[in-house]
Amino acid sequence: MYDSHVDVKRRRIVLRSIALGFLVILVGTIGYMVIEGQSALNAFYMTAITVTTVGFREAFDLSPPGQLFTIVLAFGGVGVILLIASEFARAMLDTDIRRMIGIRRDLTMIKKLSNHIVVLGYGRMGRAVVEVLRERGVSFAVVDLDSERVHDLEEEHQAVVRGDATQDGVLRAVGVARAGTLITCLADDAHNVYAILLAKQINPEITVIARAVEDGAEERLRLAGADRVLNPYRVGGTRLAITALKPTVTDFIDASLSGSSIELELAEVVVHPSSDLAGKTLAGAEVRQRFGIIVVALKRGEESTFNPGPHERIEAGDVLVALGPLQALESIEQATQ
């Protein structure tokens, strides 16, 4: 939320003012050395008390030219001091005002969010999550304690709250009460567990996806209220092994999910009671012919059927995991409403 161009310009003005102050002191010192024939120390002392107008006695008697030079130096010194003070005050005031405007804009932005995703932690994992959410155009807000990371998000005009994600007030400020999903990417499992417990107290209906840092932490995170737990090291290791064993399959999945020329997507499609698909079989609904998608799995309650057959019946409340072009998936989502 900060204007970097304004900051650079203001900094240059302040530096120029300080340089002008040093120039006045240098000119005064050299002037007394030349006009009065004084040593550098006496000349500098005389310049300092003249420019700062402290009123100490003169270090030496002044000749008429020296008196005239002192008058000019005194007026010039006062002007430079006032200029430096005003520029410092203006820079501090501008920074405070911009910071307050940024904070208020952040709060206004977050207050407008609903059913959004809250990301706790903006380290390497959190940054990767945010990049995907931003690419997909999903509403989200971030909590992080590091001021530099928060500043980076502010520069990108993203909704962010600086604070400890294990504090009740911070979670409320980021809109956990209205959020649909919470993704915990904090640095250790203890903080993730505590943040989940607080979030569930604020919003019992929120879906929590947790990152497990240590082996064996998955169960603790689930007991705290996490709906899904991922261990990135295990997921990464599994992915590396599958890439080595089945590179073609991995390439296809990457192409499907990364928006390449194949332009395929995986999506979850919820079948509502009013949908014309409810009560029909996959063959009877002509899902593949009508929409050009493949139903990879069908989930009903806690049970999932992978690669369901054509005679599998679609019921209201079922979740279809479908693979196909984005436009086709949008069409079937409209049909299931």
Read off the CATH number of the domain in which 14 is found.
1.10.287.70
Q: Which domain holds residue 53?
A: 4-109
Strands 160-162 and 140-144: parallel
Q: Tell me, yes or no, whether 119 and 229 share the same domain.
A: yes
Angle at 62 between CA 60 and CA 68, to 5 degrees: 140
Q: Tell me, yes or no, whether 275 and 166 share the same domain.
A: no
pLDDT digits (tens, 9 = 90+) for 282-298: 888 888 888 888 888 88
> Would you place residue 24 in the very low, low, confident or very high pLDDT band (cuts 50, 70, 90)?
confident
**120 with 181: CB under 8 angstroms?**
no
Q: Tell me, yes or no, whether 227 and 281 share the same domain.
A: no
Report yes or no on 251 lying in a domain: no
Query: In the sheet that 140-144 helps form, which strands lie side by side, from edge to edge?
Result: 160-162, 140-144, 117-120, 181-184, 207-211, 228-230
Angle at 334 between CA 332 and CA 337, to 5 degrees: 110
Read off the CATH number of the domain in which 307 is found.
3.30.70.1450
Query: In the sheet that 303-306 helps form, which strands lie side by side, from edge to edge?
Result: 264-270, 319-325, 294-300, 303-306
Q: Tell me, yes or no, whether 117 and 101 share the same domain.
A: no
Q: What is the pTM of this model?
A: 0.56
Of 275 and 11, the structure prediction assigns the larger pLDDT to 275
Of 28-32, 90-94, 122-126, 205-209, where does mean pLDDT reach its minimum? 90-94
Report yes or no on 257 lying in a domain: no
Q: What is the pLDDT of residue 107?
A: 62
Q: Tell me, yes or no, whether 86 and 123 share the same domain.
A: no
**Secondary element (H or E) of residue 274:** none
Q: Tell me, yes or no, whether 213 and 136 share the same domain.
A: yes
Dihedral sign for Cα 157, 158, 159, 161, please: negative
Report yes or no on 253 lying in a domain: no
**Which of the listed residues 187, 215, 235 is the one where a domain comes to its end?**
235
- Angstrom distance (rounded) from CA 174 to CA 141: 7
Report yes or no on 228 lying in a domain: yes
Q: Tell me, yes or no, whether 76 and 129 share the same domain.
A: no
Q: Tell me, yes or no, whether 185 and 121 share the same domain.
A: yes
Give me the number of domains the chain comprises. 3
Report yes or no on 328 lying in a domain: yes
Q: Tell me, yes or no, whether 38 and 61 share the same domain.
A: yes
CA 192 and chain centroid, separation: 18
- Angstrom distance (rounded) from CA 266 to CA 295: 10
Of 59-63, 107-111, 205-209, where does mean pLDDT reach its minimum? 107-111
Work out the mean pLDDT of the chain and round it to a whole number.
81
